[in-house]
Amino acid sequence: MKSKMWQKAEIDLRLEKLRALMLTHDIDAMLVGTNANLYYIAGRVFAGYAYIGADGTFRLFVRRPNDFEGEDVRSIRKPEQIVAILQAEGISIPEKVGLEKDGAAYNEVARLEKALGLSESKNCSGVLAAARAVKTPQEIELLRESGVRHCAVYGHIPALYREGMTDLELQVEIERELRLNGCLGIFRISGQSMELFMGNLLVGDNADNPSPYDFAMGGGGLNSSLPVGCNGSIIRPGNTVMVDMNGNFTGYMTDMTRTFYVKNLDEHARKAHNLSIAMHRALQSLIRPGVEAKEAYNLCADMAKEAGESDYFMGHRQQAGFVGHGVGIEVNEWPVLAPRSKHVFEKGNVIAIEPKFVIPGVGAVGVESTYVVGDDGIECLTPFAEEIRELL
C-alpha cells in the first residue's frame, strides 16, 4: 500500500479546518464513521470512527483491521465502548455532538446517539463537506497526480478504437488501460441515489436516453439494474463518442471528458462542441475566489441561449441542472455550479466543469476538465487537447 496514513502535520491541518467549521456550526465534538470521511481525516479507510473534539481531542476507534496501531488509535469491538475509553482518559462527551446525518444510515446514527448517551445530536455532514471543498496542498498534489495519469490514458484512446466496435467493447479497452495505469477502479459518489461503474462512454442516440441518476449525461445502460451509460450500440459513421471515465488514481479523482467522432461530423455537433470549449474559456476568465458558483452556471446557460442551443444544453430529452461540481474523494463534492447554488468559489476548490450538449441523431459533445481555484483564477489539472477528434 502506498501510504498507511497522512503525516501528522497533514492530519493537524485538516483537523484545524474542521475545528474552525465546528465552531461556526456550534458543534463541540464529532464522531465520524463513513469511509470517505475517514479517509479524509486519517488518510486510510478503516472500520470504526474518528472522534474529533473542538477542545483538541482526536482519537481513532478501530474495529478493523487488527494491525492498525498509533498514538491516537484505540481498538474497539463496538461503538458502545467509546464513552468508557474516553472517560478512562479523562475525556467526557460534550453536549453538542455532530454525527453524519446526511451520510450515515438512520439506525447507525440512532445507535451512536445511544452509545454516547445523547438525547439528540447535531448534523456534522455539512462541516465535513465544507472542509473537503477547500483542498489542502497535499490534496491538490494527489489530484494533480490523478490528472496527469488520467490524461496519459486518454492519449491512448484513439489507438484502442477499431471499426465496428460496440460502445461496450471500446469502454472495456479503456477500463483495462486505466486499470493497468493504476486507476483504483472504485468511483465514489456521496449519497445513495447515484451508482456508476467505471464511468460513462456514450455513443450516438444512446446519449439521449434519460437515466435515473443526476449525472450530466445519461445513457440507457446494459441492464435495468444499472440504467446508465453504454447500451451495446455499434459505433457507426456519423456518431459522436463521448468518453467520461474514472480518474481515481490516488483516492482523489479527477473528472475528464473528451469527445470523438467516426468518419463524418455533423455541423451542429461541431458547433456545439466548440461552444463547450468557448464556455471553458469564459469560465476560466470568470472564476476566482469570491465569485458565486451560480454565476458560472448562468454564464454557460446564457451562452447556450444566445447560440440557440438551449434545447440541447446538458441533455435533450432530459436535462441536468448544473454545469459543474466539486471533485475529490467523491465525484459530487462542493461547490455545485447550478442556478440555485449558494456556494461561493474559494481558493483550494477543485471543480469539474462539464458544459455538454446532446444532438439528436448524432450523440453527445462537449469537454469536461478539472480545475483548481487559485488566487487569481483557475488552473486546469487535466490539460489535454479539447478539440473533437476523429477515431480512425
Instruction: Say how far apart CA 357 and CA 214 lie, in whole Å.
Output: 15
Total chain residues near a copy of itself (CB under 8 A): 72
Among 15, 97, 109, 140, binds a copy of itself (CB under 8 A): 109
Does 119 contact a copy of itself by CB under 8 A?
Answer: no
222 versus 291: smaller Cβ distance to a copy of itself? 222
**Least distance to a copy of itself, CB of residue 79, Å:** 12
CA distance 361 to 358: 9
- Under the binding rule (CB under 8 A), the answer on residue 152 touching a copy of itself is no
| Widest Cα–Cα separation across the chain | 73
Amino acid identity, position 297 = Y
Q: How many CB atoms lie within 10 A of CB 376?
A: 9
Region 192-231 residues binding a copy of itself, contact defined as CB under 8 A:
192-193, 195, 197-198, 209-214, 218, 220-227, 231
335 phi, psi to nearest 5 deg: -80, 160
CB 388 within 8 A of CB 365: yes
Q: Which of 65, 70, 137, 158 binds a copy of itself (CB under 8 A)?
A: 65
Q: Which is nearer to a copy of itself, 24 or 193 (CB)?
A: 193
Nearest CA among 356, 353, 357 for reference residue 324? 353
Q: What is the DSSP code string of 34-51? A: -HHHHHHHHSS--EEEEE
- CB-based burial of residue 286 (10 Å sphere; 0-12 exposed, 13-18 middle, 19+ buried)? middle
Binding pattern for the stretch 163-182 against a copy of itself, x by CB under 8 A and - elsewhere:
-----xx--xx-xx--xx-x
Q: What minimum distance in Å lies between the beta carbon of 166 and a copy of itself?
A: 10
Q: In the beta sheet, which residues pair with residue 90?
A: none
Name which of 330 and 368 has its Cβ closer to a copy of itself: 330
DSSP string, 111-141: HHHHHTT-S--EE-HHHHHHHHHS--HHHHH
Residue 77 interacts with a copy of itself (CB under 8 A): yes or no:
no
Sign of torsion over alpha carbons 74, 77, 78, 84: negative
Rank residues 284 and 319 by Cβ distance to a copy of itself and give the closer one: 319
Q: Which of 15, 18, 22, 99 binds a copy of itself (CB under 8 A)?
A: 99
Contact between 385 and a copy of itself (CB under 8 A)?
Answer: no
Min CB(3)–a copy of itself separation in Å:
5
- Position among 70, 117, 158, 185 found at the interface with a copy of itself (CB under 8 A): 185
User: Least CB distance from residue 377 to a copy of itself, whole Å?
Assistant: 29
Site string for a copy of itself, 326-365 (x = CB under 8 A): ---x------------------------------------
Binding to a copy of itself by residue 156, rule CB under 8 A? no
Q: Quick one: 42 or 296, whose CB is closer to a copy of itself?
A: 42
In sequence order, the β-bridge partners of residue 330 are none
Closest distance to a copy of itself from the beta carbon of 330 (Å): 11
> What's the residue count for the chain?
392
C-alpha cell belonging to residue 174? 479503456
The distance of closest approach from Cβ of residue 237 to a copy of itself in the complex, given in angstroms and rounded to an integer, is 24
Sequence-ordered list of residues with C-beta below 8 angstroms from that of 226, at least 6 positions apart, any chain = 195, 197
Q: Which is nearer to a copy of itself, 130 or 296 (CB)?
A: 130
